[in-house]
Amino acid sequence: MADALPLVIAGAGIGGLTAALALSRAGRRTIVLEQADRLAEVGAGIQLSPNASRILDALDLGLALDRHAVTPDWLKVHSVRAGGEVLRMPLGRGIEQRYGAPYRVIHRADLLDALATAAQTDRNVEIRLGTRLRRAEAAPGRISIEARTPTGPATIEAAALIGADGVRSRVRTHVLGGPLARYSGRTAYRAVVPIGQIPAEHRRSTGLWMGPHGHLVHYPLHGGETFNLVAVIESDWEDDGWSVPATRREVLDAFASWPQAARDLLALPQDWTKWALCGVDPDFAWVGGHVAVLGDAAHAMLPFAAQGGAMAIEDAAVLAAHLADPAADIAMALAAYEAERKPRAKAVVELARTNGRIYHLPDALAFLRDAGMRIAGADRLAARQDWIWRWRPPAETLSKSGGAKSAGGLRRSG
């Protein structure tokens, strides 16, 4: 009986763990395979807009997140051409009141810790660390998954396989025959510094600096104790590997023509990490029979709308909604998930691309952009986000108590 089998999720990142928790609420048992020996996220922040926060709150993670998160007072938009701020939009209590969920900024490790802690105490979820999915084959009414575990190869029988295995997803490329990830021509430098080094005017805000062929984003983390910097440039990628250490000199050289106030921020971190920003064209079949992909595996996007993680979280909620009926035909439920999610994911991928073009306009056009932004004002900027932020998961999806508090958990497999 395929339905007595667990669902297997490949990848214990933001998308995979949210999916496991949402599926538990839907009464589904999952095994989460994670290739890493321990659950860890990159040392950087993430912005969680109300559409993502709403789902995490519904999964009862709000308190855990709010121990570490900050809700910034403002989004302050600066222009290199204008030499300073052109616009500010409120992000604080007004946004929470309007959307029923806060705009949070949080260190990725704190987000992952909240998700993992909930998953480890959920009897419907089992996380197997050090376990890498190798391949999967369809059998009648089920999927047979081959994995490399710390003690050798293993085969796991599942009712379905959910690939939440990130931008270089093996489920996408090897199981579904989907496309390879492609370098976007954009590189991101990331660093976190103590907040004490940051001028007071930036400490409670998300900041965006738009410049010719680059931009800078910053916001507070760790309840306001540290400060996250992400500096993006257009460049080729010539390093081995997709994330490598970078120096202060390299970053300052890349932003040599920027205003002193921005360069003062960029001069703070001694060490940076440099990331190749890669994308996945979402126009491929996300589902094949009892296999589906979600999150970056399905639609890795430029981070210029701050929505990649949020879309992974939304995917998880919708997937769970389609699998909530125990009598549901799994292949049909997965097909319905794809049909529901793909148009929205594609629209957000496109918005992120457009944002990149707007942020990086050369000086001549930046003048018009800045003037237009000033005239349009904060309300227009807020209206541009509204269709993303007001999104709600299907009714009742996450309302059940699920499999809380029991012996479920985390183990190295083998």
Ligand X SMILES: Cc1cc2nc3c(=O)[nH]c(=O)nc-3n(C[C@H](O)[C@H](O)[C@H](O)COP(=O)(O)OP(=O)(O)OC[C@H]3O[C@@H](n4cnc5c(N)ncnc54)[C@H](O)[C@@H]3O)c2cc1C
The residues that are catalytic are 219
Euclidean distance between CA atoms 219 and 46, whole angstroms: 9
HSE (side-chain half, CA atoms, 13 Å) at 5? 20
Q: Which part of the chain contacts ligand X (CB under 6 A), choosing from 69-77, 82-90, 163-171, 202-210?
A: 163-171
Count of residues interacting with ligand X (CB under 6 A): 34
Q: Which part of the chain contacts ligand X (CB under 6 A), choosing from 293-301, 361-369, 374-382, 402-410?
A: 293-301
Map the footprint of ligand X across residues 57-116, applying CB under 6 A: none
Q: Which amino acid is at 276?
A: A
Q: Which is nearer to ligand X, 47 or 71 (CB)?
A: 47
13 binds ligand X (CB under 6 A): yes
Q: How many CB atoms within 10 Å of residue 178?
A: 22
Shortest spacing between CB 256 and ligand X, in angstroms: 22
296 binds ligand X (CB under 6 A): yes
Phi, psi values for residue 24, rounded to 5°: -60, -45
Report angle CA 105, 392, 334 to the nearest 5 degrees: 105
Q: Which part of the chain contacts ligand X (CB under 6 A), choosing from 162-170, 220-228, 318-326, 372-380?
A: 162-170
Closest CA to 246 of 269, 273, 276: 273
Shortest spacing between CB 255 and ligand X, in angstroms: 16
The β-bridge relationship of strands 152-158 and 142-149 is: antiparallel
Q: Which part of the chain contacts ligand X (CB under 6 A), choosing from 4-12, 73-81, 92-100, 333-341?
A: 4-12
14 binds ligand X (CB under 6 A): yes
- Residue where the block lists tokens 């120096």: 247
Q: Which amino acid is at 5?
A: L
The β-bridge relationship of strands 74-79 and 214-221 is: unpaired
282 binds ligand X (CB under 6 A): no
Phi, psi values for residue 113, rounded to 5°: -65, -40
Map the footprint of ligand X across residues 16-35, applying CB under 6 A: 16, 33-35
Contact residues for ligand X, defined by CB under 6 A = 10-16, 33-36, 46-47, 132-133, 164-166, 170, 188, 190, 230, 275, 277, 295-297, 303, 306-310, 312
